[in-house]
């Protein structure tokens, strides 16, 4: 089993830069763009992704806030 806490994702209704900017408003820090891995994005045929990178400093509450933040993005662009 491979465990990873770095999650790159796309949403069909919002561009990664818009997602990141709206999450930033809620004080949720994610990265948007190619993450220095442009060939991989070409491979998956996506213009860019949003990446949430969790680590030991994060807890379940942060994950809940990320999900709430993404709901806010959906209300905005969905």
Partner 1 sequence: MDDLYRETIIDHYKNPGYKGSLDPADLSFEDENPLCGDQLRIDLQVDENGTVTDARFDGHGCAISMASADLVVEDIIGKNIEELKKMSKDDVLELLGIEELGPVRLKCALLSLKVLKGGLYGIGHQDEEL
Q: Convert residues 11-50 into a mask of x (bound to partner 1 by CB under 8 A) and - (unbound).
A: ---xxxxx--xx--x------xxx---x--x-----xx--
Give the integer Cα–Cα distance in Å for 27 and 55.
Answer: 17
Give catalytic status of residue 36 as yes or no.
yes
Cβ closer to partner 1: 34 or 58? Answer: 34
Cβ-based nearer residue to partner 1, 35 or 58: 35
Kindly report the number of other CB atoms within 10 A of residue 10's CB atom.
Answer: 15
Minimum CB separation from partner 1 for residue 62, in Å?
22
> What distance in Å separates the CA atoms of residue 19 and residue 30, rounded to the nearest whole number?
9
User: Which of 1, 3, 36, 56 is an active site residue?
Assistant: 36
Q: How big is the CA angle at 12 (ends 40 and 71), to the nearest 5 degrees?
A: 115
CB count, 10 Å around CB of 52? 21
In the complex, which residues of this chain contact partner 1 (CB under 8 A)? 14-18, 21-22, 25, 32-34, 38, 41, 47-48, 76-77
């Amino acid at each position: 089993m491979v465990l990873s806490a770095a999650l790159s994702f796309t949403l069909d209704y919002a561009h990664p830069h818009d997602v990141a900017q709206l999450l930033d408003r809620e004080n949720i820090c994610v990265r948007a763009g190619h993450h220095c891995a442009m060939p991989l994005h070409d491979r998956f045929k996506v213009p860019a992704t949003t990446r949430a990178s969790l680590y030991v400093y994060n807890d379940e509450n942060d994950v809940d806030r990320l999900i709430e933040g993404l709901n806010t993005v959906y209300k905005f662009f969905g």
